Amino acid sequence: MRVAYLTQVDMFTDSGVRTKHIMQYNIWKKLGHSVKFFSIPFSVNYSTPIQADFDIVQFDILLSKSLKRNSNIISLLRQIANVINIKKSLKRYQPDIVYMRAMTWFPGLDFILRDFKVIIEGNTLVREELKASGSVVGKFLNNIGEKKIGQNIDGVIGVTDEIRKYYQSLNPNIKSITITNGYDFNALNRKKSTKASSVEPPNLIFVGSPGLLWHGVDHYYQMARLLPDFNFHLVGPKLDESYPQLKNFFEYGFLKKEALNDLYLRMDIGVGTLALYRKNMNVACSLKTREYLAAGLPVIIAHRDDDLSGRPFVLEIDNNKESVKRFILEIEEFINDWKDKVVSKELVAPLIDINTKEKLRLEFFKSVYEDQ
């Protein structure tokens, strides 16, 4: 099959979603399919772009390059200015399937999608996320165009049932399936084995993105404040100056892949999303949680994960603003139990290995393409 991967991700800047895109691209190519990225990035890093070894067309406009900054307006202009270019590029590529990572509607998106077999990958409840983010422009555009997107897609793959049903409600006639996120175990170095108990305090890590309130960085800080004998490491977002400094709380900002992988080797526990309630969701299957597990780290999350819930290497606390405080004894016990231990690949690979999930995704592509 010929697959056009339409995304808002800047494919020349490191990110968790970019890593997922490349994992999928490599597996699909390995299985004999033709794949090409068509990227209309929401934001662009012009300072230190990384090299690409994949087939891609990335669209930009001179205005955003000259201003050297990103904003909702610049992103919207980038999208609208490239509607015709994207449509022409897709026509030239002649894809059997356009696979689109869910994005907020913009004028011309429905024009781009019509005439193709389109499958959308739903990763969140867009309507609720835009409310939580406070994006006035995003909410306005979504209110106008959400149903238009639904009318121009032929299938949806939700990473949870909750998200799949959200898109199914936009168009009851489309085919749908739930395929949770996976991870390529070859993408990073794993902790080798459980070691004898050390005198060093347990080390926890939280990797997130700036400005995403539902990640719950404030709850992670609260965890550190309530457990002063443990070390807490924060990668990605940074707390503002209103938070008093803690001796056991370490902030790194953004780390490149190699540095982050090295840090994982020193950690005992990975902490996932802690405030999903802020966008009115209860279920998730985050990429970062899977990366922790692929590195050998047990995880703490504050939501249900249909791949992982109930497993001994996962502590699932409640999804509300009081959860960390109420579960602090269980959190402390879990950390002490798993300190210096490694989650075996044999236990976790059958749950999150990306190869099985991508074969299922390609089977769904075929079913949508063949459904006339």
| Residue ranges of domains in the chain | 2-182+353-370, 185-351
Contact 300, 330 (CB under 8 A): no
For residue 371 the two structure tokens come to 């459904």
Distance, CA of 262 to CA of 295 (rounded, Å): 10
- The CATH code belonging to domain 185-351 is 3.40.50.2000
For residue 282 the two structure tokens come to 């209860």
Nearest CA to 236 out of 215, 258, 219, 266 is that of 215
Neighbours of 309 (CB within 10 A): 12
Mean pLDDT by 10 residues, the chain (372 residues): 94 87 94 94 67 81 53 80 94 97 92 95 89 84 90 95 93 95 86 74 94 93 97 94 94 92 95 96 94 96 95 97 97 96 93 95 96 75
Taking the alpha carbons of 78, 84, 90, 96 in that order, is the dihedral positive or negative?
positive
Nearest CA to 345 out of 290, 304, 300 is that of 290
Q: What is residue 300's three-state secondary structure? A: strand
Residue 361 pLDDT: 97
Residue 137 pLDDT: 83
Q: The pTM is what? A: 0.89
Residue 304 pLDDT: 95
Q: CATH topology of 2-182+353-370 equal to that of 185-351?
A: yes
Buried b or exposed e, range 324-339, using 16+ CB within 10 angstroms: beebeeebbebbeebb
Angle at 145 between CA 141 and CA 148, to 5 degrees: 170
Q: Are strands 2-7 and 34-39 parallel, antiparallel or unpaired?
A: parallel
For residue 108 the two structure tokens come to 């011309």
Residue 152 pLDDT: 93
- Residue 300 φ then ψ, to 5°: -115, 130
Architecture of domain 2-182+353-370: 3-Layer(aba) Sandwich (3.40)
Backbone φ/ψ region at 108: left (φ over 0), alpha (ψ -120 to 50), beta: left
